[in-house]
Amino acid sequence: MSWFGTLPTPVGVIGVVSDGTAVTRVTWITEAPAGAEVGPDPLLSEALGQLTAYFTGRLTRFDLPIELGEQTVATRAVLTVLHETVGHGETLTYGGLAARSGTEVPARGIGSIMGANPVPLIVPCHRVVAGDGLGGYSGGVPGHGLEAKRWLLEHEGALPASLF
C-alpha cells in the first residue's frame, strides 16, 4: 500500500509517495500513481511538513526515511553519497560527485543518475552542477527544469539571486 499527497511550491506542485515506512517518490506529477491512495499516512504528512518547512526557509536538512527502489549498485552509491555529503547551500560538480562516490561512473554518467533520482529535493540532485554552469535538471514543471534548479539554489544561498 502506498499513499500520495501534493504540495504547492514556488517551483510547481510536488507529488510525494510514501509506502508507510519510507518516502519512495518525489515528483512534479500531481495525480496519484496507480495503486497509491490519497489519504492520511503519518510519514506522508511528515514529508509534506518537512517540504513545507524547506520551502519556507525553516528546514535545511530532511530527516525522512527514503527508499531508492531498484537501482544499479553504482546509481545507489552515487545517490547515497549525494544524500549524505552535500548539504544545504553547497554545490558539487558532476565530476566531483563522480570522484566522491568512489564509483567508476564518469562525470557524464552522473547526469543520467541525477535524472534517475526517485526522491529529488530530499536527495538533492539540484545541488549537482556542471563545471561551467548549472548543468541540467529534470525536476520542476515540465519545460522549466533549469528555472526550478536556479530557484532552489538561490533559495539555499548557493547562487546569488538573479537580477532578472
| Structural domains of the chain sorted by starting position, each given as residue range(s) with its CATH number in brackets | 2-55 (3.30.160), 73-155 (1.10.10.10)
Helix and strand counts by DSSP (H, E) for the chain = 5, 6
Residue given cell 549524505 in the structure block: 84
The confidence score (pLDDT) of residue 40 equals 76
Is the pLDDT at 83 greater than 80? The verdict is: yes
Rounded average pLDDT over 22-50: 91
pLDDT tens column, 95-113: 999 999 999 999 999 999 9
Rounded average pLDDT over 134-151: 93
Residue 125 is among the residues annotated as catalytic for this protein: yes
The pTM assigned to this predicted structure is 0.93
Cβ partners under 8 Å of residue 47, min gap 6: 5, 16, 18, 23, 64, 122
* Annotated active-site residue in 44, 119, 122, 125: 125
User: Left (φ > 0), alpha (ψ -120 to 50) or beta: where does 143 sit?
Assistant: left
Cβ partners under 8 Å of residue 164, min gap 6: none
Rounded average pLDDT over 148-159: 94
Rounded average pLDDT over 35-51: 92
Closest CA to 62 of 101, 22, 94, 97: 22
